[in-house]
Amino acid sequence: MTFGIVFLVLIIDQLVKIWIKTNFAFNDPSVPLIGDWFHLNFVENQGMAFGTQLGGGMWGKLTLSIFRVIAIGAIIYYILKQIKKPEVKLEFLIVSGLVLAGAAGNLFDSMFYDFIFRDYFDPCISYNQIEGSGIYAECTYYGYSEMVEVRHRGFLFGNVVDMFQFRMTWPSWIPWLGGSEVFPAIWNVADFAISCGVILVLLRQKIYFPKEQEKEKEA
pLDDT per residue as tens digits for the range 8-57: 999 999 999 999 999 999 889 999 999 999 999 999 988 755 555 555 67
137-162 confidence digits (pLDDT tens): 999 888 889 999 999 999 999 999 99
Does some domain include residue 34? no
pLDDT at residue 22, as a whole number: 95
| Alpha carbons 29 and 31: distance in angstroms, whole number | 6
CA–CA separation, 195 vs 190, rounded Å? 9
Q: Which residue has the higher pLDDT, 132 or 173?
A: 173
For residue 40, the tally of other CB atoms under 10 A from its CB is: 17
pLDDT in tens, 83-132: 999 888 999 999 999 999 999 999 999 999 999 999 999 999 988 988 88
Is the distance from CB of 6 to CB of 97 less than 8 angstroms?
yes
Any bridge partners for residue 144, and if so which?
141
Total of domains in the chain: 1
The question of whether 28 is a catalytic residue gets the answer: no
Of the listed ranges 50-64, 149-163, 188-202, the least confidently predicted one is 50-64
Q: Which residue has the higher pLDDT, 77 or 179?
A: 77
| The pLDDT value given to residue 64 | 87
Structural domain that includes position 197: 2-29+41-163+189-218
157 vs 77: CA distance, rounded Å: 25
Sequence-distant (6+) residues with CB within 8 A of 103 are 68, 71, 72, 75, 190, 194
Q: Which residues pair with 147 in a beta bridge?
A: 138
Would residue 191 show up in a list of annotated catalytic residues for this protein? yes
- Residue 153: inside a domain, yes or no? yes
